[in-house]
Structure 1
Amino acid sequence: MERRGLDAHAVIAPERRRAAVRLALRRLVLAVPVLLVVAVGVFLLGAASPFKPIYQYYGVDVFRATEQELAATRTLLGMDDSVFTQLGRWLGGLLSGDLGISRSFRQPVAEVLAERLPWTLLLVSVALVVAVVLAAVLGVAAAWRQGGWLDRVVTAIGHALEGIPSFMLGLGAIAVFALGLSWLPVAGLTDAGAAPTAGQVSRHLVLPALVLAVSQMPWLVLHLRASLLTALAEEHVTGARARGLPEWRVMLRHALPTALLPFVTLLGARIPELVTGAVLVEEVFSWPGIAEAVVTAALAVDFPMMAALAVLATAAVLVGSLFADVAVVLADPRVVADG
């Protein structure tokens, strides 16, 4: 009997892997038109913007420039072309690996992203790990002692934090930990004039990463707690308790694996909020990521930069959702990957 069970598991595992591969391929194919629609939408929204890109390009120097100079600059940068002409030019360059020239930063879009994207990825990665770890610990502890003081505190704080925007949390954290207690720096990547060493970056990363993690944690904690309470009522958990297993083993070995499947799905669904929260947190803490590029490109109607950032954010959301769905397909044999 045991041998047959092992053989059956060995047969099922490759099927789940193939299902995960099919799911990934379908999602990647569908991602192409989605990204194209996003790029077109960004160009159309930029064309409807009341901001004049020529003024943002020149800055205060626009008042000293002649009409001939302004006209020549608009022609050189293609500002007078139709929005669809500019879109076609950008898409053509994209096929050759050229993201275009940013009007607002006056350098290639690829260079701007290469300079700023690593810092955003560092912030988001650390915040996501902290949020998941804290949510797992607090969610398990709250469900384990349902109705106790810890459960009530965690639940109350979780519901309260759901309605607070991340930038408000950031301002509050600065007021308390930076200005009030002077434990951590206010903003920036390093102290003024200091080199970006690992120690400097780590010290300045603590506050924005914690704020971003706390802004995402309430949904994770409350969802994991609810999933655990549901799992604790299932038959296999009841059977484990009937066999006399310790409560901690019942929770961690029987209930938690079942509750983690919807938790992983929720992580994928929270990626858009994580991206939005990262932009707001970067602005509050002057973190040198892509947030400033988003604001600057929007004000300057910088089509190449706006389109690249929008496509990048959309790709991050699609990839996060894909990873979550693939993880569920691989972990749960009951799931059928229909895409």
Structure 2
Amino acid sequence: MEHPHLDPPVRRRRPPTRRGRLAGAGAVVRRRLLVAVPVLLATSVGMFALGAASPIDPAKQYAGAAAATATEENLAQIRANWGIDDPLPVQYLRWIGNLFRGDLGWSTSRHEPVASVIAARAGWTLLLVSAALAVVLVTSLLLGALAAYRRGGLLDRGLRAAAYAVQAMPVFWLGLAAIAVFALALGWFPAGGLTDVTATGTSWADVAHHLVLPVAVLAVAQAPWFLLFVRDAVVDSLREDHVLAARARGLPGRTVLFGHALRTALLPFLTLIGTHLPELVGGAVLVETVFSLPGLGAVTVQAALGGDFPLLAATTLLTAAVVLTGNLAADLGYAAADPRVRLDA
């Protein structure tokens, strides 16, 4: 017997799998590469123009202490060997051509290839940034979620006040204060460097002991942004229907907070990580300088003060490439975590 008044069964559309959500990842990567090329070119042109406008004579810088007694003929020979007197477009095209061949140039301040300087120091900068970012993520997620769960309470007010206060403190001031208190006054940690002065080798235990203060300072300087973001995101998430339903079912507060509210707040948190990379890298430059760490930050400051254009241009381009890659990774991670986001849309 037929029942015409009954509607046919509705087929529910299955949510896309993670592989399906990332189906357009290749197209997104290609589009980002098309955007990254002009960005990197504009960055290189700007750095080249600043280097050309610098009053520092690269020939005298390359000669070092011998420049005080060098004749003008010797300096002119150095300029001719390096092509400094060539027109600016010719110098730029030659630099670009060498860059595509893997030749980053010669560091005039350190008297060694730029590629060697970066290869020897990039790992330490990556270690510092990665360790600080891990500390920031763990602490901001935990404290931000707890502050949101107890919003308006003593913990919430105290964390927000501390976050606003730390935001007003420069990174180098935090570093100097940490050295004064924990290194000089208390003697708990070294004031700088990666190993003790009397050390004959490099051990991971010694390096970890020396990195405690730099990592802590960089993490504290960057934590307020993440902590306040997580706190506000979790506060909004606690008002959503699925979280209220979890509470109504009598689930424990810990399960509601970390299993439901925090998971929803994590999605925009991924985007914040990608957009905050420039601030993190800039903070690492100052921290490495304050704590005398042999990373890219310290040599970048030295290159800027000494007019070492080849080294400064290479580190600037590398930083720009890392930031662009981080933003792309954050977008891909957002699409992988949120079933509502499709990259091929």
Specify the alignment match of 1:282 in structure 2: 288
Deviation of 1:50 after TM superposition, in Å, equals 2.3
Instruction: State whether structure 2 residue 213 is matched by structure 1 residue 219.
Output: no
Structural mapping, 1:28-177, within 5 Å: 28-177=33-182
**Offset at residue 46 of structure 1 (A):** 1.2
Describe the superposition over 1:227-272 as per-residue Cα deviations: whole angstroms up to 9, x where unpaired.
0000001111111111221111111111111100111111111100
Give 1:336 deviation, angstroms. Answer: 4.1
**Residue matched to 2:192:** 187
- Inter-partner Cα distance in structure 1 for 2:184 and 2:86: 49
Q: Are 2:333 and 1:327 aligned?
A: yes
- 1:297 corresponds in structure 2 to 303
1:13, 1:116 → 2: CA distance? 37
2:24 to 19, 22, 35: 19
Who is 1:308 aligned against? 314
2:193–2:292 Cα contact (<8 Å) kept? yes
If the length of structure 2 is used for normalisation, what is the TM-score?
A: 0.92
Structure 1 distance, partners of 2:160, 2:325, is: 30
Show the counterpart of 2:277. 271
Q: Distance in 1 between matches of 2:303 and 2:186?
A: 36
Deviations for 1:67-106, whole angstroms, at most 9, x for unmatched residues?
Answer: 1111111111222223322211111011112212222221
The structure that has the greater radius of gyration is 2
Contact conserved, 1:35 with 1:315, CA < 8 A, in 2?
A: yes
* Structure with the larger helix share: 1
Which amino acid is 2:317 matched to? V
Amino acid at match of 2:320: T
Report the CA distance between 1:12 and its aligned residue. Answer: 4.3
Question: What TM-score, normalized to structure 1?
Answer: 0.94
Alignment length (residue pairs): 334
- 2:5 paired residue number: none
After TM superposition, the structure 1 stretch with the greater mean CA deviation from structure 2, 17-26 or 276-285, is 17-26
Cα distance in structure 1, aligned partners of 2:255 and 2:152: 20
CA RMSD of aligned residues (A): 1.7
| Unmatched segments (≥5 aa) in structure 1 | none
Equivalent residue letter for 2:263:
P
* Cα gap change, 1:231 to 1:219, in 2 (>3 Å): same
Instruction: Letter of the 2:319 partner, please give it.
Output: A
Find the counterpart in structure 2 of residue 230 from structure 1.
236
Q: Give CA deviations for 1:188-214 in whole Å, capped at 9, x if unaligned.
A: 111113122111111111110110111
Q: Which stretch has the larger CA shift, 271-280 or 131-140?
A: 131-140
Give the CA deviation at 1:56.
Answer: 2.3
Report the AA paired with residue 132 of structure 1: L
State the identity %. Answer: 51
After TM superposition, where is structure 1 displaced by more than 4 Å over at least 4 residues in a row? none
Which structure 2 residue ranges, 5 or more long, are not aligned? Answer: 1-10
